[in-house]
């Protein structure tokens, strides 16, 4: 029986200020019964009409995230559920229905506090589950509506890269840098409220830290302690439930971009064209990269190899200002942005602490070698083994003892790297295809001519054209399927065995063939093999793949077998010309004697070559170290003088013989 004209409002309103979960009953006697069962977070509705708009506004103000309705089991209780369902649609609401038409008080009297507590703890059905708290829409702090991308409609949380944003009433909390462990829960918490902002780092598992944070918030924002303490408790519970790893993985691995319609048709026409290689070279020219045909194609193939289990790596070693960064940037521009990780600097341990899948099937482009010298060990292991595993010592905050934490970063990753230093660590260089920029006068003339012509064209039109080309290549790369590649001609291939270096170079050559075949997959029939009960798709290497790979291998590896960088070889040829020029001034002496006895200085080299002093100094040292040039004098303050110890090998542009079998020889093999 209800007393007539009873007062309206919420009984025990202090509970909504301090509790992350509220139990709602229809009368004070029912609420007292729930308290007897051990639950102090209970309120009751006063008045026959239930909750008013003012009372609902109070629930929003104090940021109540979850409400449990504990109502009678009879028909009146069901009607109350329907009535409250409409009013509490903005909250996460569940119900508990008492059996046999009991109300909480009668159930307590008949069965006791223990059984009433059991009914409260066992969820029977969910009424609705939407945003836990939606503030007044007039507030500038309103979070995205429930269901909007980037938010979790069941909790009102907006996930961020390393935390989340949540709003209680009109108080907006941003949790950043969330660190979780068995005995650790720490984050930077930023509160925005009433035009004020207060950030602080909070250790949720430290009572002292929670009290200090609550005191600061109450002082700065003029809030009552009960409200802020309840907010901190709710934040702690949300942090415990929040899966940082899955959110980071989702952020770093966004949903796959779907290519369809005209874009798909254009990309497929590009990929199926029998003239694919020439089209790629033409697009490089249109985008502004002149010459460097072998480097452009090699770089594009290596960029594409990121999708394979054994991707390749490219090191561009050249003089400062030659255009090595321009070459790398042009190659990277054809890679879809979601697959490119481009860095200017890299510390020694940075790669070890990236997210687990942040480098999986990606391109890692390092713009300048000087900014990544400390990371050579990590780069080498990433290329060789395709995974980085590190174990570091941390202090357990609960016990004070030291323990270990393991972090694993998975590849495989295609790596690009530029440097001006010919003395780069040999262990690092052996993992890469080492190439250089054409620094000849003829190439310089082509570049200068292109730069002048570029001033004549319309920049807007050129930019639109380039953007269209890049979009086509991005779509083409996205359409490449993760197929396996088989080389049925592998047994017929050969590689030079006269150098120990061949042990590392042949795998690069074989993987280059597979990468070319993978790039040309749209021109090949897809085959299937049975593996572990599944049909696994793959494509096969053909003779054209081998021909392309042979040409690139001879051009790149054929230059580097003598360990000379491309600028070093250019200087060597220049010195040979200098010696010929000096010797021609003394025709009476024999030519053989002139080459061994003629001396020259660095000034002679600069005047003859037109190179800068730094460039001459860098690569002359390389020639001295490899004994192509001998130092005749230069100690005790005397002028440096050099002699050439070189017989002219490779002066005509010849390449080292790598022992590669030609396509024609493979085709004519008797047991093919």
Instruction: Please tell me what DSSP assigns to residue 662.
Output: P
Q: Which residues contact 173 (CB under 8 A, 6 or more apart)?
A: 165, 166, 167, 189, 190, 191, 192, 231, 235
Residue 61 near residue 34 (C-beta atoms within 8 A): no
Phi then psi for residue 10, to 5 deg, are -115, 125
What CATH homologous superfamily does 261-480 map to?
P-loop containing nucleotide triphosphate hydrolases (3.40.50.300)
Question: Does the global pTM surpass 0.95?
Answer: no
For residue 208, give every residue at least 6 positions away whose Cβ sits within 8 Å of its Cβ, in sequence order, or none: none
What is the residue extent of each domain of the chain? 9-128, 158-252, 261-480, 485-558, 566-644
What token pair was written down for 621?
């040292």
pLDDT band with cut points at 50, 70 and 90 for residue 450? confident
Record the tokens describing residue 148, joined without a space: 């909007």
- What is the pLDDT at residue 664? 87
> What mean pLDDT, rounded, does the chain reach?
80
What pLDDT score does 136 carry?
34
CB 19 within 8 A of CB 39: no
List, for residues 84-104, the tens digit of each pLDDT value: 767 777 777 888 878 877 888
pLDDT at 102 (0 to 100): 86
Q: Does 9-128 match 261-480 in CATH topology?
A: no
Q: Per mean pLDDT, which of 131-135, 333-337, 648-652 is the most reliable?
A: 333-337
Model confidence pLDDT, tens digit, residues 545-599: 999 999 998 888 766 555 677 788 788 888 888 888 887 776 555 444 556 678 8
Candidate CATH numbers 3.90.1300.10, 1.10.1240.10, 1.10.10.10, 3.90.1150.10; the one for domain 566-644: 1.10.10.10
Q: What DSSP character marks residue 408?
A: E
Q: Which of 119-128, 522-531, 659-668 has the lowest mean pLDDT?
A: 119-128
List the one residue out of 357, 340, 347 whose CA is nearest residue 409.
357
37: which strand partners? none
Taking alpha carbons only, the member of 126, 72, 122 closest to residue 97 is 72
Looking at residue 478, what is its pLDDT? Answer: 94
Burial level of 198, CB count in 10 A (0-12/13-18/19+)? middle
- The pLDDT score that the predictor gives to residue 271 is 94
Q: What pLDDT, on a 0 to 100 scale, did the predictor assign at position 249?
A: 53
pLDDT tens-place string over residues 40-77: 888 888 655 567 777 787 777 777 778 888 877 666 76
**Which pLDDT score, from 0 to 100, does residue 152 have?**
43
H and E: helices and strands count for the chain: 24, 24
Integer Cα distance of 536 and 518 in angstroms: 15
| Structure-block tokens of residue 482 | 């993760």
Most confident of 78-82, 368-372, 375-379: 375-379
Beta bridge partners, 513, equal: none
CATH number of 9-128: 3.40.1360.10
What's the confidence (pLDDT) of residue 481?
93
List b or e across 291-317, with b for residues whose CB sees 16 or more CB atoms inside 10 angstroms: bbebbbbbbbbbbbbbbbebbbbbbbb
pLDDT digit string, tens, across residues 628-658:
888 877 666 567 888 887 766 555 444 555 6
d(CA 312, CA 507): 10
The DSSP-derived string for 509-574 is HHHHHHHHHHHTGGGS--EEEEETTEEEEEEE--HHHHHHHHHHHHHHHHHHTT---HHHHHHHHH
Rounded to the nearest 10 degrees, the angle between the axes of helix 502-519 and helix 293-304 is: 80
Q: Tell me, what's the pLDDT at 502?
A: 79
Res. 293: pLDDT tops 50: yes
DSSP 256: P
What are the pLDDT digits (tens) for 226-283? Answer: 888 888 988 998 888 887 666 555 545 455 688 888 999 999 999 999 999 999 999 9
């Amino acid at each position: 029986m209800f007393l007539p004209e009873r007062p309206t409002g919420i009984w025990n309103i202090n509970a909504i200020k301090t509790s992350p979960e509220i139990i709602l009953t229809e009368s004070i006697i029912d609420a007292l019964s729930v308290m007897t069962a051990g639950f102090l977070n209970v309120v009751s509705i006063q008045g026959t009409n239930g909750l008013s708009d003012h009372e609902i506004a109070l629930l929003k103000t104090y940021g109540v995230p979850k409400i449990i309705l504990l109502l009678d089991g009879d028909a009146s209780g069901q009607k109350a559920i329907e009535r409250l369902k409409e009013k509490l649609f903005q909250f996460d609401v569940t119900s508990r229905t008492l059996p046999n038409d009991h109300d909480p008080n009668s159930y307590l009297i008949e069965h006791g506090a223990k059984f009433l507590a059991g009914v409260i703890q066992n969820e029977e059905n969910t009424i609705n589950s939407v945003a836990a708290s939606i503030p007044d829409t007039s507030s500038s702090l309103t979070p995205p509506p429930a269901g909007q991308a980037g938010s979790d409609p069941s909790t009102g949380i907006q996930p961020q890269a390393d935390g989340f944003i949540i709003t209680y009433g009109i108080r907006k909390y941003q949790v950043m840098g969330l660190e979780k462990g068995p005995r650790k829960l720490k984050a930077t918490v930023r509160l925005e409220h009433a035009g004020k902002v207060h950030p602080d780092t909070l250790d949720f598992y430290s009572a002292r830290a929670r009290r200090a944070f609550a005191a600061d918030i109450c002082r700065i924002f003029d809030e009552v302690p009960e409200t802020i303490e309840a907010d901190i408790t709710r934040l702690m519970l949300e942090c415990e439930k929040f899966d940082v790893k899955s959110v980071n993985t989702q952020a770093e691995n966004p949903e796959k971009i779907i290519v369809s319609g005209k874009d798909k048709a254009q990309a497929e026409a590009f990929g199926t064209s029998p003239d694919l290689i020439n089209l790629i070279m033409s697009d490089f020219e249109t985008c502004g990269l002149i010459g460097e045909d072998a480097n452009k194609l090699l770089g594009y193939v290596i960029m594409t190899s990121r999708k394979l289990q054994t991707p390749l790596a490219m090191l561009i070693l050249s003089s400062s200002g030659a255009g090595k960064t321009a070459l790398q940037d042009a190659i990277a521009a054809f890679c879809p942005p979601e697959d490119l990780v481009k860095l200017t600097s890299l510390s020694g341990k940075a790669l070890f602490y990236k997210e687990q899948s942040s480098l999986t099937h990606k391109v890692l482009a390092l713009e300048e070698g000087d900014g990544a010298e400390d990371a050579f060990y990590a780069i080498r292991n990433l290329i060789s083994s395709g995974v980085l595993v590190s174990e570091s010592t941390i202090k357990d905050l609960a016990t004070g003892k030291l323990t270990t934490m393991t972090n694993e970063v998975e590849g495989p990753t295609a790596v690009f790297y530029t440097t001006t230093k010919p003395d780069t660590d040999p262990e690092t260089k052996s993992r890469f295809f080492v190439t250089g920029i054409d620094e000849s006068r003829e190439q310089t003339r082509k570049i200068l001519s292109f730069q002048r012509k570029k001033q004549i064209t319309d920049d807007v039109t050129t930019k639109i054209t380039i953007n269209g080309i890049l979009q086509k290549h991005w779509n083409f790369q996205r359409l490449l399927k993760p197929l396996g590649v088989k080389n049925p001609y592998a047994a017929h291939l050969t590689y030079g065995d006269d150098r120990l270096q061949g042990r590392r170079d042949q795998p690069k050559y074989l993987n280059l063939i597979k990468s070319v075949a993978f790039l040309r997959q749209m021109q090949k029939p897809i085959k299937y093999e049975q593996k572990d009960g599944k049909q696994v798709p793959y494509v096969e290497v053909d003779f054209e793949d081998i021909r392309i790979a042979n040409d690139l291998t001879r051009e790149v590896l054929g230059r580097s077998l003598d360990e000379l960088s491309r600028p070093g070889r250019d200087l060597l040829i220049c010195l040979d010309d200098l010696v010929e020029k000096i010797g021609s001034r003394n025709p009476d002496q024999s030519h053989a004697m002139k080459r061994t006895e003629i001396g020259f200085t660095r000034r002679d080299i600069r005047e003859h070559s037109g190179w800068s002093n730094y460039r001459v100094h860098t690569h002359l040292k390389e020639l001295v170290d490899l004994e192509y040039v001998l130092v005749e004098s230069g100690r005790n303050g005397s002028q440096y003088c050099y002699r050439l110890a070189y017989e002219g090998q490779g002066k005509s542009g010849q390449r080292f013989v790598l022992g590669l079998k030609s396509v024609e020889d493979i085709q004519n093999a008797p047991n093919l």
